[in-house]
Structure 1
Amino acid sequence: MNNYTNDNTARRYKADISIFGTTQIHLRNPFIVAWWSAAFPGFGHMMLCKYPRGYALFIWEVVVNIKAHVNLAMIYSFQGNISMAKEVLDTRWLLMYIPVYLFAIWDSYRTTVDLNKIFILADHEDHPFNSFSLGPTGINYLDKRNPLASIMWSLFIPGLGHLYIHRIMTALFIILWVVVFFYQSHALEAVSLLFLGKIKEASVVLNPEWLLFLPSHYGFAAFASYVDTIENNKLYEKEQRRYLMENYQDTGFQILKGQKVK
């Protein structure tokens, strides 16, 4: 195991391994990141490991969405009841909601473009980064994980896929809010009633305004954990390759491209 630490002696690093998780930069499609910000403000920034900004936008989305009744208006719109959708919207909150919603999309796109440029430079500089962290509160290390397992656990309960790959900050935040969404929407209560064959009661007990948060939450948890697992695996392979080359490869070893060894 190497003794590298990210002590800011290099200009750029591609990753950092800490007790609380693995933080890394890699090439991303800015349109996909912007799309997740449109689906739920904060998700795009959380994908980029911009956690404080992502958490702030996420909480803003939940609070202002509920106060403005945006989800409720969407439900009425899906039902074709446009007049009722206009009726339930609270314009005092809605006029605050729109600028922040647009900012989340724009800023996540802009940040992704910037981080892609930084990653290209960091990859060219190729400074060593730490791959093992051990302390009183836990242990984290680079290794390979199964991306399909990340999806599977995320579909059971959002956040478990991120726990599987030791993305602790994101995992705890996602799990906390999925509990809030389940409780406020009465989704699990409705599922219990469905198992008992009480379909009408299950429909009545649901709170659709809170229920509409869950699809985005599940989708993001599965997608982000899958992508993070793949990138984590790439990071592991690159770090392992560097270690083997530095410690076991002969300094005179060369691969002559296009020439056959006789």
Structure 2
Amino acid sequence: MSERKTIIRTVGLKKHYTVGGNTVRALDGVDMSVLQGEFVCVAGRSGSGKSTMLNMLAGLEPPTEGEIIVRGKHHLEAMDEELRTRFRRRYIGFVFQSYNNLPQYTALENVALPLAIRGVPEDERNWLAWQALSRVGLRGHVDHRPAELSGGQQQRVSIARAIITEPSIVLADEPTGNLDSRTGQEVMELLCEIFRERNTTFILSSHDPQMQCYTDRTVYFSDGKIETENHHTGEENAQ
């Protein structure tokens, strides 16, 4: 088997905010690498820096200091907002804790939205959205709006939307945080299936140890720094 390449690398990554005259060090010198096709959990208590880390990797905001290198050539810290937006649309898929499905749109329309933004013709994007919804088990719900779907179904819509552009990297911020344990387990099993099928790099944040066991590796954050990390065995991942 050929050695997997590093798809994401951060060097001395810092993100500081000023709140009420005080400096908050959300990230304080993070060196981290993620391999192509790796499934990584970023874990830690609230305020540990894990969500800020995902925002940095997505290019949602620039770092205060340090480097974010993607695919060995894209330096996010050097990009302006327009370039970061283009980067996200091309390489990144998102799965949100709160689903972020537009209430006025059907499941099909919500999933097709990233393709509509890219200017893909309606017939083509609707067909691709139908395929993505079928993949996540929602073939019979394509015309349903978010209010007509359960939490687990809404999260499946979010997953379908995240993968429709075939991104290199999928970022998931607490994807099971609003779900009961059984539904959360089903969502994680679905993410694992898609991860294996597509050799996609998945990075998720979670404080739930049960969710962490599905991943290859858990990186624990505390006070804006990496505290430790744990590589999971095949047996753990299969549970």
TM-score range (shorter-chain normalised) is under 0.3
Structure (1/2) with the larger strand percentage: 2
Normalised by the length of structure 1, the TM-score is 0.21
Structure of larger gyration radius = 1
Q: Which has the higher contact order (CA 8 A, sep 6+)?
A: 2
